[in-house]
Amino acid sequence: MKVPILIPSIFDHPFTYENSNRKLLKAGDFVKVPFGTKEVTGVVWNFEQKITKKIKIKKISKKIEVPKMNSKMMEFITWFSKYNIVPLGMVLKMTLLGKDVVDKSYEKEFFKFNIIKNQNKFKLNKEQDTSLKFLEKKGNQFNVSVLEGVTGSGKTLVYFERVKKIISKNVQALIMLPEIALSNQFSSRFKDFFGVYPAIWNSKTSIKNKKIIWKGLSQNKIKIVIGTRSALFLPFKKLQIIIVDEEHDVSYKQDEGVSYNARDMAITRASIENIPIHLVTSIPSVETYNNIVNKKYGLTTLKKRYREATLPNFEIINLNKNEPEKGKWIANKTIEKVKEHLKKNDQILFFLNRRGYAPFVVCKKCNDKFQCPNCSVNLIFHKKTHRLLCHYCGHQSSLKRKCKKDNLECNILMCGPGVERIYLELKKIFTDKKIEIFSSDSLREYDSVEDFINKIEKKKIDIIVGTQLISKGFHFPKLNCIVVVDADFSSHGYDLRSAEKNVQLYHQLSGRAGRASNNSTIYFQTFTPNDEILLNVSRNNPHLFLKNELNLRREKKLPPLYKLISLTISGNNKNIINQIALDLKFKLPKINDVDILGPVDTPIYKLKKRYRCRMLIRYPKNLFIQKYFSTVLKNTKIPYGIKLGVDVDPTNFS
């Protein structure tokens, strides 16, 4: 009997095999089959690829005795493949562990994830209880509901209660979080509520634990998983609810490898499974806000902080009137404000979203900027290592250069501040205070990131100098003063979401202050005190910004009112990639109301020694144009060394 088998590889169709075993195979069964010179794991698929030429059909080696892939998961894989223009086999690969299934038994390991019943020390306040009842009233079939709440309002407790009630019926839940928010702090909160530490699925989870979780979910022995993007592809046997926390976070979008938006794909999986999904946020993404306005999503809000904590005050420090001294970046007025907070034993955060010491370096004599030889970006000076570093490809070089003007050594000028520069400035001002940097560079130096976070929690650090890493979901009880060193809201012309990202970032950042206090302040140092985005942040009225942003996007025919597909062509020869892009544009179908913009060089036109150009396909959101374009893309032969990247609903335009 001939059987279609999907292989976890680059192919967009199943292969035909012969089943000579006595066991009847059904769609979703896992099998071992010969493929090339290897034996690989495959899945019995639900449609067969038409064979147009005579070929020798190989035999299935054996059936793997594990729970089969259910029909809803197969439907999700198929839909994901069509929507994101990704080969079926590549999507299947995302559901497996290293292209394989887990057939080993882990029965003795599952008990550590057993939820302890009647474990509840927490009582919801009136607002939280109202939100919980709203979500419950929506029922247990497919619906999208948004739980919006100011930072520190106790949104997590609300959805924990919702999940607890649902899994009591012997079903499963998926809670999705951005990678950085999945900290020990969150695990501790989970343990306090459910009585056990959660099953965590992210890039740091060991292979053994991944096998235990994969197996436990496929047998309904593990009830809740807390995970990042990839957790969406786990083999739940009885998935009954999905929570997407921090739904606005850009890290739900995967840009490298297979491009997809995990939040949007989670909504699709919930729809196919016919289960509820709750999007949780302190400020909705523009896409989510648009669906709220159009009544596609339900909305419930928490307007007060938990346990009566108040929201922080906002104060703008106008640098036109309070300019820092030459060679310094912190205004005297800011220093005085910080001293007042330190007298009250408050913890301080200086926020600057720039790693290193100086964002770019120039020679005073020849005006030459020190740029990466592999990428079209400036090299960033890191004082700790005394090296210039590219944050895209990792290239490092010395500061010593010969000047193009006189062939002598360059006369170096460090331009702008990074966190290292602010740190050194603060060390000179507050000599008796414990000051530390919180960035991806500094965290690598610690044996444990959690130890560093515990030091901040217990106020063993007085002043933190941090990048956007610190804005994500941490709870620091003594943090009552935040200084935004450079509140520059100038948008990148190439990034249609820059205003939205800025508002979300500073809104999240403000949520770190005053979580256990009634007197906290955020100070914005800026040369543009009347900037509209800054005023929106300080008014703490995100819906006003979202309404205006939606109108602007409508006027400009941009998402979420229209949709985009990005086609990026990259290679070692700039002229060749431009010609290939033009040839491809000519082949793409011409459809009414569909615009093909470009090709043009990407803003970072060279990355890791490869030149890049891009086309954007813009189309009305009611059209599903992927079926027309995917056929052309599949049949287009791309020369060796050239890469074509397809990104549906892109968020990164650099």
For the chain, helix (H) and strand (E) counts, in that order, are 17, 29
pLDDT of residue 181: 66
pLDDT tens for 273-292 read 999 999 999 999 999 999 99
- Cβ-proximal residues to 233 (8 Å cutoff; 6+ apart), any chain: 94, 95
Asked if residues 512 and 482 have their Cβ atoms less than 8 Å apart, the reply is yes
Model pLDDT, residue 320: 94
- % residues pLDDT > 70 (the chain): 96
- Determine whether 619 is exposed, middle or buried from the number of CB atoms within 10 Å of its CB (0-12, 13-18, 19+): buried
Query: How many angstroms separate the Cα of 592 from the Cα of each of 24, 31, 189, 555, 618?
Result: 49, 45, 52, 19, 11
For residue range 480-505, what is the model confidence (pLDDT) as tens digits?
999 999 987 665 556 788 888 888 88
What pLDDT score does 51 carry? 65
Of residues 50 and 101, which shows the higher confidence score?
101
Rounded to two decimals, the pTM is 0.94
Q: Is residue 302 domain-resident?
A: yes
606 or 510, higher pLDDT? 606
Looking at residue 613, which CATH number applies to its domain?
A: 3.30.70.600
Give me the pLDDT at residue 48, please.
72
How far is residue 579's CA from residue 584's CA, in Å, rounded to a whole number?
A: 9
User: Is 632 part of any domain?
Assistant: yes
Q: Which residues, including other chains, have CB under 8 Å from residue 416's CB and lie 6 or more apart?
A: 354, 358, 359, 360
DSSP string, 71-133: HHHHHHHHHHHHHHT--HHHHHHHHSBTTB---S--GGGGGGGPPPTT-------HHHHHHHH
Residue where a domain terminates, one of 502, 527, 550: 550
Asked if residues 541 and 534 have their Cβ atoms less than 8 Å apart, the reply is no
What per-residue confidence (pLDDT) applies to 256? 86
Min mean pLDDT across 16-30, 92-106, 480-494 is at: 480-494
Structure tokens at 333: 């007025």
Co-location of 425 and 478 in the same domain = yes
Asked if pLDDT for residue 246 goes beyond 70, the answer is: yes
**Is the omega angle on the peptide bond into residue 560 within 30 degrees of 0, that is, cis?**
yes
pLDDT of residue 308: 72
More confident of the two residues 261 and 120: 261
Domain containing residue 341: 309-354+417-550
Q: Are 22 and 16 in contact (CB under 8 A)?
A: no
Does the residue 372 lie in any domain?
no
Q: What's the mean pLDDT in 314-320?
A: 93
Distance CA 622, CA 560 (A): 11
Q: Are residues 154 and 273 in the same domain?
A: yes
Co-location of 215 and 334 in the same domain: no
Residue with the bigger pLDDT between 518 and 627: it is 627
**Band of pLDDT at residue 82, cut at 50, 70 and 90:** very high
CATH number of the domain at 28, please.
3.40.1440.60
Does residue 378 sit within a domain?
no
Whether residue 367 is contained in a domain is answered as no
The lowest-confidence range among 184-188, 288-292, 377-381, 572-576 is 184-188
pLDDT at 586: 94
pLDDT score for 278: 98
Q: How confident is the model at residue 110 (pLDDT cuts 50, 70, 90)?
A: very high
Let me know whether 175 and 291 are in one domain. Answer: yes
- At residue 445 the predicted structure's pLDDT band, cuts being 50, 70 and 90, is low
Q: Please, what is the average pLDDT of the chain?
A: 91
Q: Which amino acid is at 7?
A: I
Residue pLDDT, tens place only, 185-215: 788 889 989 989 999 999 889 999 999 999 9
**Using CA atoms, how far apart are residues 650 and 638, in angstroms rounded to an integer?**
22
Q: How many domains does the chain have?
A: 4
With cut-offs at 50, 70 and 90, classify the pLDDT of residue 620: very high
* 623 pLDDT more than 80: yes
Over residues 32-53, the pLDDT tens digits come to 999 989 999 999 998 776 666 6
Q: Please, are residues 415 and 360 in contact by the beta-carbon 8 Å criterion?
A: yes
141 and 208 together in one domain: yes
SS3 135: helix
pLDDT attached to residue 119? 63
What is the CATH number for 155? 3.40.50.300
pLDDT of residue 188: 87
pLDDT, mean of residues 393-400: 92
| In 132-198, beta strands by DSSP E | 143-149, 172-176
On whether both 187 and 46 belong to a single domain, the answer is no
End-to-end CA distance of the chain: 51
Asked, for residue 625, whether it belongs to a domain, the answer is: yes
621 lies in the same domain as 539: no
pLDDT number for residue 448: 64
Q: Give the pLDDT confidence score for residue 446 in this predicted structure.
A: 64
Mean pLDDT over residues 284-308, rounded? 93
